[in-house]
């Protein structure tokens, strides 16, 4: 594969479009191959390594969806009430072999197996009962209020395809199918560093020109949510040789090494140089704002991403660059994020050729429409612009402005962090 050099994306040159970036990631990054069996309650965030096929029908037997009366639809009058004697009773879990005889009804409860011969259930709210007779109104369709064998998933069908990232609902499905373990790819090992002579650890003495490290905490939390095994390697000085050594060391024992800071074109921005000296640069300068100088490379089979220093740029590039990379590395299917349509409450100008992310809060207009209000501060270093908002507007590459009232795409933080 031809190595991209910085000539392609030189400072004044073009920016790598995000879609192209995702393609490059897919091309250059090989998913981890090792798999393991994990118990259901340890499977959240893990990636399904082999299609999970339903070993049985779900539900495994026809059963009632309501508390009411099970009947044979053929016994019902089409234009009048039908009165039937109630000849049996079935509760959920009942093992009784109850059949509904022609011209009779069986008292039934939600989840109880449908009695033999019954094909329809009435809700108890819809009928009147006198003694042991039930009066059933006309008009109910055959098959109503029951759950058919295999209607959720049929035996032999793929319940959870390879590449699924497991969450509570997937684990519930595996449990409903009677499974106790799932074969998943191994967890990814990710190392994180901060860089910068000015960056100090919270709790340490802060010199007059120093700032406390926010980025490692942001990264550690976001990675932990995704189920990564995180190694925190602390803060590195702006020293090219030390940086190269530390990144190279970490790359030996991790699938991905992430740094923040030191990727723009300042004199102390050594990260790109370091990657070029110890590995291969895959891309540098992406069409994304904030976060343009984000850098990716490979170092002896490990992946490397150099994020910008400003915390909001770290957040945005984590979501848009690191996450697709982690999915690819972890063997997960790519994820399509759908931005939700909302109205912009503000006018905004942007350059073409980059996708821009604007921090906004949502509010509801009197007409019920949801509109997005821009945070008053849009600096990439303003952490409160993340803590005081609900999510990001995603403005596409080709547009140059939005007007108040325009329809725009909104991505809630919760969806971005998953």
> HEC profile for 156-199?
CCEEECCCCECCHHHHHHHHHCCCCEEEEECCCEEEEEEECCCE
Residue 169 CB, nearest approach to ligand AMP (Å): 35
Residue 271 CB, nearest approach to ligand AMP (Å): 8
Binding to ligand AMP by CB under 6 A, coded x per residue (else -) over 59-88, reads: ------------------------------
Choices 133-141, 260-268, 294-302, 358-366; region in contact with ligand AMP by CB under 6 A? 260-268
Of the residues 115, 150, 227, 261, which one makes contact with ligand AMP according to CB under 6 A: 261
- Phi, psi dihedral angles at 416 (to 5 degrees): -70, -30
Query: Residue 194 binds which one of Mg ion, ligand AMP, none, with CB within 5 to 8 A depending on kind?
Result: ligand AMP
Residue 411 CB, nearest approach to ligand AMP (Å): 23
**Could you say whether residue 308 binds ligand AMP (CB under 6 A)?**
yes
Of the residues 260, 295, 317, 385, which one makes contact with ligand AMP according to CB under 6 A: 260
Of the residues 306, 311, 324, 330, which one makes contact with ligand AMP according to CB under 6 A: 311
Verify cis geometry, omega within 30 degrees of 0, for the bond prior to 133. no
**Could you say whether residue 306 binds ligand AMP (CB under 6 A)?**
no
Of 98 and 214, which has the nearer Cβ to ligand AMP? 214
Task: Output the DSSP codes for 274-296.
Answer: HHHHHSEEEEE-BSEES-TT-EE
**Could you say whether residue 22 binds ligand AMP (CB under 6 A)?**
no
Structure tokens that stand for 54 in this block: 């339903």
Q: For the purposes of burial, counting CB atoms within 10 Å of the CB of 245, is it exposed (0-12), middle (13-18) or buried (19 or more)? A: middle
**Could you say whether residue 330 binds Mg ion (CB under 5 A)?**
no
**Could you say whether residue 139 binds ligand AMP (CB under 6 A)?**
no
**Could you say whether residue 175 binds ligand AMP (CB under 6 A)?**
no
What angle do the packed helices 323-330 and 18-28 form, to 10 degrees? 30
CA within 13 Å, CB half, 93: 0
Of 150 and 309, which has the nearer Cβ to Mg ion? 309
Q: Taking a C-beta distance cutoff of 8 angstroms, is the pair 106, 118 a contact?
A: yes
CA angle (30 as vertex; 24, 36 as ends), nearest 5: 145
Choices 211-219, 242-250, 320-328, 339-347; region in contact with ligand AMP by CB under 6 A? 211-219
Of the residues 113, 261, 293, 311, which one makes contact with Mg ion according to CB under 5 A: 261
Choices 58-66, 98-106, 304-312, 369-377; region in contact with ligand AMP by CB under 6 A? 304-312
Cβ atoms within 10 A of the Cβ of 411, count? 20
Q: Which residue has the tokens 């991905």?
A: 256
Helix or strand holding residue 384 (H, E): helix 384-387
**Could you say whether residue 385 binds ligand AMP (CB under 6 A)?**
no
- Phi, psi dihedral angles at 309 (to 5 degrees): -90, -30
Q: Which residues bind Mg ion (CB under 5 A)?
A: 196, 261-262, 309
Q: Which residues bind ligand AMP (CB under 6 A)?
A: 194, 196, 198-199, 211, 213-215, 260-264, 266, 308-311, 381
């Amino acid at each position: 594969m031809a190595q991209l050099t910085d000539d392609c994306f030189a400072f004044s040159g073009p920016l790598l479009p995000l879609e192209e970036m995702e393609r490059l990631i897919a091309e250059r990054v090989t998913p981890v191959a090792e798999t393991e069996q994990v118990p259901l309650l340890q499977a959240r965030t893990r990636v399904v390594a082999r299609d999970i096929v339903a070993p049985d029908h779900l539900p495994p037997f026809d059963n009632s969806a309501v508390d009411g009366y099970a009947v044979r639809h053929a016994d019902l009058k089409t234009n009048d009430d039908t009165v039937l004697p109630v000849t049996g009773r079935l509760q959920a879990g009942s093992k009784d072999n109850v059949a509904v005889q022609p011209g009779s009804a069986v008292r039934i409860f939600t989840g109880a197996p449908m009695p033999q011969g019954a094909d329809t259930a009435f809700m108890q709210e819809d009928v009147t009962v006198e003694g042991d007779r039930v009066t059933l109104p006309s008009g109910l369709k055959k098959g109503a209020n029951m759950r058919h064998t295999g209607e959720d998933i049929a035996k032999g069908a793929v319940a959870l395809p390879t590449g699924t990232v497991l969450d509570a609902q997937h684990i519930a499905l595996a449990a409903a199918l009677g499974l106790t373990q799932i074969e998943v790819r191994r967890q990814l090992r990710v190392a994180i560093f901060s860089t910068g002579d000015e960056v100090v650890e919270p709790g340490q003495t802060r010199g007059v020109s120093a700032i406390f490290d926010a980025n490692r905490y942001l990264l550690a939390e976001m990675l932990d949510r995704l189920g990564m095994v995180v190694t925190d390697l602390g803060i590195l000085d702006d020293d090219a040789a030390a940086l190269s050594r530390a990144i190279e060391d970490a790359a030996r024992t991790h699938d991905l090494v992430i740094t923040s800071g030191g990727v723009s074109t300042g004199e102390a921005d050594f990260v790109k140089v370091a990657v070029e000296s110890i590995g291969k640069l895959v891309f540098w300068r992406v069409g994304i704002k904030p976060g343009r100088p984000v850098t990716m490379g490979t170092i002896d089979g490990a992946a490397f991403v150099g994020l910008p220093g400003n915390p909001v740029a770290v957040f945005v590039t984590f979501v848009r660059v690191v996450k697709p990379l982690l999915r690819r590395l972890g063997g997960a299917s790519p994820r399509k994020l759908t931005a939700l349509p909302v109205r912009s409450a503000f006018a905004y100008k942007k350059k073409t050729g980059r996708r821009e992310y604007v921090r906004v809060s949502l509010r509801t207009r009197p007409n019920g429409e949801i509109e997005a209000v821009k945070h008053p501060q849009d600096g990439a270093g303003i952490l409160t612009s993340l803590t005081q908002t609900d999510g990001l507007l995603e403005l596409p590459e080709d547009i140059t402005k939005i007007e108040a009232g325009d329809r725009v795409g909104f991505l809630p933080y919760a969806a971005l962090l998953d």
